[in-house]
C-alpha cells in the first residue's frame, strides 16, 4: 500500500500582525478583513497590549455588513509614536491564505511531532492535485508530468470559452498520464489499494469566479477504483 506526506492542512484563517491604524478618536482600530472571533491580540510598537485594555465591539460605522467588528480601546491612546498590529481570525471567504478553500498546502504533524501521512482516496486526491498544479517539464526527472496552466497567468482573455476549454484539456491530459503511470506501477507487482487508484475523471467544470472575473475556478471530480469519489478546486488567476 502506498502512502505520502499529508500536504493539505485545514486553514485556521488566522491573520498575524496585520498593520492597523489608530482612528482619529484615539480609541478605534479596524482590520482590513472581517474579525470572526473575539480572541484577538493587539500589539503596540511590537509589544502585546493587555487584553484588559481593549475589547472587540460591533462597529456602527462599518460600511460592509460582514465587517461589522472593530477594536475599541477602553481609554484614549496617548502616545502618537506607537504603531499598531493586530492578530485575529477572519472568515473563510476573506482569508488570504486559503482564499475561501478552507485548506492550505503545507506539511502537518501529530502531537508526537511525527509527519502525518495519507493513504487510499486521500492519497489519490493529493496526487491528482499534484499533477494538476505542477508545471509541465519543471521536474527534470519526469518531464512529462504536469500542465501548462502556469503559462496562462498574465494572459489577457479575448475568448473566455477558449480559455475554459484549454484548462479542461490540460487537466484531462495530465490526469490521463497519471492513470497510465499508475498502471505501470501496478505492473511492477507493488501493493496498491483500490482507493488510491484512479478509475475515471467524472467531471471538470471551469468557470470564471463570480466575485472576481480575473480568477478561473476549475472544479474536478474523479472516481477511485473503490467506487468512492474525490474532488478538488484549482484557482487560476489571469490578467
Helix axes 120-133, 160-187, angle to 10 degrees: 130
Give the range among 64-73, 133-142, 175-184 with minimum mean pLDDT. Answer: 64-73
Report the SS3 class of residue 158. Answer: coil
The distance of Cα 233 from the centroid of its chain, to the nearest Å, equals 10
Q: Is 39 a member of any domain?
A: yes
The three grid cell numbers given for residue 113, joined into one nine-digit string:
511531532
Please name which of 67, 88, 80, 87 lies closest in space to residue 26, comparing C-alpha atoms.
80
Q: Which residue has the higher pLDDT, 115 or 24?
A: 24
Provide the edge-to-edge strand list for the sheet that holds 41-44: 14-20, 84-89, 41-44, 47-48
Same domain, 228 and 149: yes
Interatomic CA distance for residues 150 and 237, integer angstroms: 9
Same domain for 216 and 167: yes
Which of 71, 89, 69 is closest to 23 using CA atoms? 71
Q: pTM for this one? A: 0.61
Q: Which residues contact 58 (CB under 8 A, 6 or more apart)?
A: 68, 69, 70
Question: CATH number for the domain including 180?
Answer: 3.10.450.40
Least confidently predicted of 34-43, 149-158, 184-193: 149-158
232 bridge partner residues: 220
Q: What percent of the chain has pLDDT over 90?
A: 46
Residue-wise pLDDT tens digits, 123-150: 999 899 989 988 888 888 888 888 988 7
Domain assignment present for residue 99? The answer is no
Q: Which residue segment(s) compose the domain that 201 sits in?
A: 119-237
Cβ atoms 235, 151 nearer than 8 A: no
d(CA 16, CA 86): 7
Shared domain for 123 and 88, answered yes or no, is no
Amino acid at each position: 500500500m502506498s502512502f505520502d506526506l499529508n500536504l493539505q492542512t485545514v486553514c485556521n484563517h488566522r491573520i498575524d500582525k496585520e498593520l492597523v491604524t489608530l482612528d482619529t478618536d484615539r480609541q478605534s482600530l479596524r482590520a482590513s478583513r472581517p474579525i470572526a472571533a473575539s480572541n484577538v491580540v493587539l500589539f503596540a510598537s511590537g509589544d502585546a497590549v493587555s487584553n484588559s485594555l481593549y475589547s472587540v465591539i460591533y462597529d456602527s460605522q462599518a460600511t460592509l455588513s460582514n465587517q461589522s467588528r472593530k477594536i475599541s480601546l477602553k481609554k484614549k491612546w496617548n502616545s502618537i509614536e506607537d504603531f499598531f498590529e493586530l492578530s485575529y481570525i477572519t472568515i473563510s471567504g476573506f482569508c488570504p491564505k486559503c482564499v475561501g478553500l478552507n485548506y492550505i498546502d503545507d506539511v502537518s504533524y501529530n502531537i508526537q511531532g511525527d509527519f502525518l501521512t495519507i493513504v487510499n482516496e486521500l492519497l489519490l486526491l493529493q496526487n491528482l492535485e499534484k499533477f494538476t498544479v505542477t508545471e509541465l517539464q519543471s521536474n527534470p526527472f519526469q518531464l512529462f508530468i504536469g500542465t501548462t496552466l502556469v503559462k496562462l497567468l498574465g494572459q489577457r482573455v479575448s475568448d473566455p470559452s477558449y480559455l475554459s476549454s484549454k484548462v479542461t484539456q490540460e487537466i484531462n491530459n495530465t490526469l490521463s498520464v497519471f492513470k497510465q503511470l499508475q498502471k505501470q506501477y501496478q505492473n511492477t507487482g507493488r501493493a496498491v489499494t483500490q482507493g488510491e487508484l484512479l478509475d475515471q475523471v467524472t467531471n471538470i467544470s471551469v468557470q470564471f469566479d463570480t466575485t472576481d472575473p480575473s480568477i478561473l475556478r476549475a472544479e474536478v471530480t474523479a472516481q477511485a477504483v473503490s467506487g468512492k469519489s474525490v474532488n478538488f478546486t484549482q484557482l487560476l488567476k489571469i490578467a
